[in-house]
């Protein structure tokens, strides 16, 4: 079966530094894939390359067999509608209210929705993620954890079949993290494709079917979670990135 996403010999250079080096990688549809590795090894960069948010310096990224760099506007819009991204730093718009941030994806991808329908959908998603904040404030008045909740809510607003999550439970309390994990598990039941980055071995073990170990910008190993016997094995592999 054709992979949902294929990276073909992808390298990425930023400010003259090679961050990602000749990566060949397939992401399978309907599976959950975790990217793990030491701080600074290139996980966030690789995730953004998979999502088409960064363009490779060399090599190609394919989505359903189509090179992301040469998609036309309509194909790009379809890809964007099907996918969503939770950024490591949440990346909420500083000059917009939370409500505006949550409403924008609905305005773009569901222009047929009325203001009332958007309001109802936002209310529903906020209750799913368990956030009771006043949405007419700006992100700067939120804690990091609260920003993560809003970022996650924004990502699932249009029901994406493909979800990219970068350190998405970091800075959340156990209850809030647990709620987001169960929302992801529900998406797994629906056969969504999830690609996530995490430093938490227990989370990787409980959610991922495939684990990609990144070391120094290379894909060092691709394993199924069955091949990882203990949490300590994962930690050991990640530790190698520091060596
Ligand atoms: N646009 C850029 N220009 C120059 N260097 C960059 C750029 N983006 C990232 N880097 C550098 O590339 C390396 C990999 O960054 P990246 O954010 O992908 O790592 P990471 O594995 O996600 O780290 P962490 O676990 O700390 O989130 C880091 O050394 C970072 O400073
Ligand atoms: Mg990162």
- All structural domains of the chain with their residue ranges: 5-240
What is the predicted pLDDT for the residue at 241?
Answer: 54
Q: Are 102 and 122 in contact (CB under 8 A)?
A: yes
pLDDT greater than 60 at residue 243 = no
Q: Residue with the nearest Cα to atom 6 of ligand 1?
A: 14
Among residues of the chain, what percentage have pLDDT more than 70? 95
- What does the pLDDT average to over 2-26? 95
Question: Whole-model pTM above 0.85?
Answer: yes
Evaluate if residue 239 carries a pLDDT over 70. no
Residue 94 has pLDDT above 60, yes or no: yes
* Residue 141 scores a pLDDT above 90: yes
Alpha carbon of 20 to ligand 1 centroid (Å)? 10
Contacts of 191 (CB under 8 A, 6+ apart): 29, 30
In whole angstroms, how large is the CA radius of gyration of the chain? 18
**Residues for the chain: how many in total?**
243
Local confidence band at 71 (pLDDT 50, 70, 90 cut-offs): very high
Stronger pLDDT, 225 or 39, i.e. the higher one: 39
pLDDT of residue 229: 63
CB-ligand 1 contact for 94 (6 Å cutoff): no
State residue 227's pLDDT score: 77
Residue 242, ligand 1, Cβ within 6 A: no
Q: Ligand 1 in contact with 14 (CB < 6 A)?
A: yes
Q: How far is the CA of 191 from the centre of ligand 1 (A)?
A: 30
How far apart are alpha carbons 12 and 80 in whole angstroms?
A: 22
Centroid of ligand 1 to alpha carbon of 10 (angstroms): 16
- 190-231: pLDDT as tens digits: 999 999 999 888 899 899 999 999 999 998 888 887 777 665
Neighbours of ion ligand 2 (CB under 5 A): 44, 88
pLDDT score of 240: 63
Q: Which CATH superfamily is domain 5-240 in?
A: P-loop containing nucleotide triphosphate hydrolases (3.40.50.300)
| Mean of all residue pLDDT scores within the chain | 92
Q: Residue 40 C-alpha to ligand 2 middle, in angstroms? A: 7
Element (H, E) at 81: helix 73-82
């Amino acid at each position: 079966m054709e992979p949902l996403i294929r990276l073909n010999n992808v390298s990425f250079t930023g400010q003259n530094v090679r961050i990602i080096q000749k990566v060949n990688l397939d992401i399978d549809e309907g599976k959950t894939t975790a990217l793990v590795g030491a701080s600074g090894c290139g996980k966030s960069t690789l995730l953004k390359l998979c999502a088409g948010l960064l363009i490779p310096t060399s090599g190609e990224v394919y989505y359903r067999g189509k090179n992301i760099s040469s998609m036309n506007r309509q194909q790009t819009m379809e890809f964007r509608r099907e996918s969503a991204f939770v950024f490591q730093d949440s990346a909420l718009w500083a000059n917009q209210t939370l409500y505006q941030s949550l409403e924008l994806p609905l305005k773009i991808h569901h222009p047929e929705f009325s203001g009332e329908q958007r309001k109802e959908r936002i209310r529903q998603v906020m209750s799913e993620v368990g956030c009771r904040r006043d949405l007419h404030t700006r992100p700067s008045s939120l804690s990091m954890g609260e920003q993560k909740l809003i970022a996650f809510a924004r990502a699932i607003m249009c029901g994406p079949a493909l979800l990219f999550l970068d350190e998405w439970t970091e800075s959340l309390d156990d209850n809030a993290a647990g709620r987001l994990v169960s929302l992801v598990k529900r998406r797994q039941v629906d056969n969504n494709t999830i690609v996530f980055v995490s430093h938490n071995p227990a989370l990787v073990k409980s959610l991922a079917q495939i684990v990609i170990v990144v070391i120094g910008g290379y894909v060092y190993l691709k394993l199924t979670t069955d091949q990882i016997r203990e949490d300590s094995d994962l930690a050991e592999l990640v530790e190698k990135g520091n060596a």
